């Protein structure tokens, strides 16, 4: 698996069958971390938000809109740093002024 930015996983063809992204990150999903803790302390929430913002900014700088942001698509490594996964709904080649009209995402988070 190649990494293009510290907070973004570049998924490889066949990865889902051969080696799921969740198997590579000892911290599991952010969703499971939230389930265990019930609520994040402000410092923890700010840390995750900062890393997510950096990862999204990186994608945007390359003309990519990440359209399925949810705790289940954010993995944590053994040090607690985030990795965005599941790029199936991403829109590519989007630059300043471009508009999309697709309605997509996970219904529970819309």
3-46: pLDDT as tens digits: 456 666 655 444 444 455 555 677 889 999 999 999 999 999 99
Residue 29, beta-bridge partner list = 75
Please provide the average confidence, as pLDDT, over all residues in the chain: 82
> What is the 8-class DSSP label of residue 11?
P
Q: Would residue 68 show up in a list of annotated catalytic residues for this protein?
A: yes
Q: How many CB atoms lie within 10 A of CB 59?
A: 21
Q: Looking at residue 21, what is its pLDDT?
A: 52
Domains assigned to the chain: 2-109 (1.10.510.10)
Q: How many other CB atoms sit within 10 Å of the CB of residue 106?
A: 14
pLDDT, tens digit (0-9, with 9 covering 90-100), for 44-61: 999 999 999 999 999 998
Band of pLDDT at residue 103, cut at 50, 70 and 90: confident
**What would the pLDDT profile of 60-98 be if each residue is shown by its tens digit?**
988 999 999 999 999 998 889 999 998 888 888 887 777
Q: Give first-to-last CA distance, the chain, whole Å.
A: 30
pTM of full prediction above 0.85 = no
- The catalytically annotated residue of 18, 43, 68, 86 is 68
- Looking at residue 31, its pLDDT comes to 95
């Amino acid at each position: 698996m190649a990494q293009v930015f510290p907070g973004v996983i570049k998924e490889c063809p066949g990865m889902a069958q051969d080696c799921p992204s969740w198997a590579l990150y000892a911290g599991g999903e952010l969703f499971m971390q939230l389930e265990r803790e019930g609520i994040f302390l402000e410092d923890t929430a700010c840390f995750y938000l900062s890393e997510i913002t950096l990862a999204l900014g990186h994608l945007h700088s390359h003309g990519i809109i990440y359209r399925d942001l949810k705790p289940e698509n954010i993995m944590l490594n053994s040090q607690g740093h985030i990795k965005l996964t599941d790029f199936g709904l991403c829109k590519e080649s989007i630059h300043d002024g471009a508009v999309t009209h697709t309605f997509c995402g996970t219904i529970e988070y819309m």
